[in-house]
Each structure stands twice: as C-alpha cells, then as structure tokens.
C-alpha cells in the first residue's frame, strides 16, 4: 500500500541540481501528489520556465519514486497553475539556502517591487551584515541575483522574488 506520506518523504530526497542542499520540497516546487494503488502522479511547479534543471529534476524524481516499495507507475508533470512563487520556499529551505551562500527573499514578498527598499536589503548569508548592495539583477541561474557584502567583502547570491 503506497501512501501519500511515503511519496512526499521520497520527494524530500530529490535535490535541486543547482542547489544540492535544498530539495524540491524545500523549494516548494511540489504542488500535488496523487496516489491510485500502485500509480503515482506528481505535479511540480517550475521555478522559472526556462530552467535547464527541469528535465534533471523530472528524471531524479521518477527514479526516486520508482524505488518506493509498491510503486509501479510514476508520472511527473510540470504545471504552471498555480505559478511557483518564492513565497513557497519553506523555513527549512530558507535555512538551507543560506547555508549554501544564497540569501532567500523575505516571505510574503512575491509581487513586491523588484528592487528592495534600502531598509530591506538582504543580509549576507556568510556574515549576517546588512551592509550589502545589488551588483546584478541577473545571476548565474535564472532564479538568482548577485549581491555584494560590504561587511565581509564577498559576493553572494539571492533568490529572485517572483
């Protein structure tokens, strides 16, 4: 008997290929899990439409779910409704992002102005300083911007607000 709980637990093992400490569950990318006997369907929300990691995520999720006892068929679908938002990143996901050197956007900031007001610049994930500034709205992946910490003099990244 396959349970939804077992599927969610297995999905917590599926890593974001570009941010390995963080799972797709931490990122809030899993919209829905449906279990019908030995058949499982998982709906995943892409963070960004053009994210090249999506097919890797699909493959990793399928492989992991096929290893769950009792599972015979797996379907992983990408859905745009509801659209993923950075507000969906869990508290644990935010902690793990920081441990990887990426500042998470504050919760509840989806749809807010793209440039943070001076009083809400992100804290440096390395030293905690708020003496930071935006270097580049765009970063090494579609979902991140580049900041610079004037406290510890290191660049760091921040998940974009979407």
Partner 1 sequence: MIALLYQLADDELVIGHRDSEWLGLAPHIEEDVAFSSIAQDEVGHAALFFRLLEELGQGRADDLAFLRPAGRRRNAVLLERPNGPGTYLDEPRFDWAYTVVRRLAYDLFDAIRLEVLCSSSYAPLAQAAAKVRREERYHLLHHTTWFRRLATGTDESRRRLEAAVAAVWPDVGGLFTPGEVAPGPHFPVRPDELAGRWAERMAPLFAEVGLTWPGRPESAAAPGADGRLGQHTPDLEGLLSTMGEVYRTAPGAAW
Span near partner 1 by CB under 8 A; candidates 33-41, 56-64, 78-86, 90-98: 78-86
Helix residue ranges per DSSP H, 18-146: 54-66, 91-99
Is 146 among the residues that bind partner 1 (CB under 8 A)?
yes
Is 44 among the residues that bind partner 1 (CB under 8 A)?
no
Instruction: Give bridge partners of residue 36 from the DSSP assignment.
Output: 39
Interface pick for partner 1 out of 61, 139, 147, 159 (rule CB under 8 A): 139
Interface pick for partner 1 out of 36, 81, 118, 119 (rule CB under 8 A): 81
Instruction: Outline where DSSP puts E strands in the chain.
Output: 15-16, 19-23, 30-36, 39-44, 73-78, 102-103, 132-136, 144-149, 154-159
Interface pick for partner 1 out of 67, 108, 140, 150 (rule CB under 8 A): 140
Q: Which CB, 13 or 17, lies closer to partner 1?
A: 17
Start-to-end CA span in the chain (Å): 38
Is 48 among the residues that bind partner 1 (CB under 8 A)?
yes
| Total count of residues recorded for the chain | 162
């Amino acid at each position: 008997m396959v349970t939804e709980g077992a599927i969610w637990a297995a999905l917590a093992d599926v890593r974001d290929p570009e941010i390995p400490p963080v799972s797709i569950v931490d990122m809030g990318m899993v919209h829905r899990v449906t279990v019908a006997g030995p058949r499982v369907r998982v709906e995943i929300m892409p963070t960004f439409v053009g994210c090249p990691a999506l097919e890797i995520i699909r493959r990793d999720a399928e492989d992991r779910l096929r290893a769950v006892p009792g599972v015979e068929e797996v379907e992983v679908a990408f859905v745009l409704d509801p659209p993923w938002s950075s507000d969906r990143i869990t508290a644990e996901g935010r902690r793990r992002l920081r441990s990887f050197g990426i500042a998470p956007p504050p919760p509840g900031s989806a749809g807010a102005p793209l440039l943070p007001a001076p009083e809400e610049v992100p804290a440096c994930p390395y030293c905690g300083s708020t003496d930071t500034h935006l270097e580049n709205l765009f970063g090494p992946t579609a979902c991140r911007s580049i900041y610079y910490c004037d406290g510890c003099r290191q660049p760091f990244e921040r998940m974009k607000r979407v």
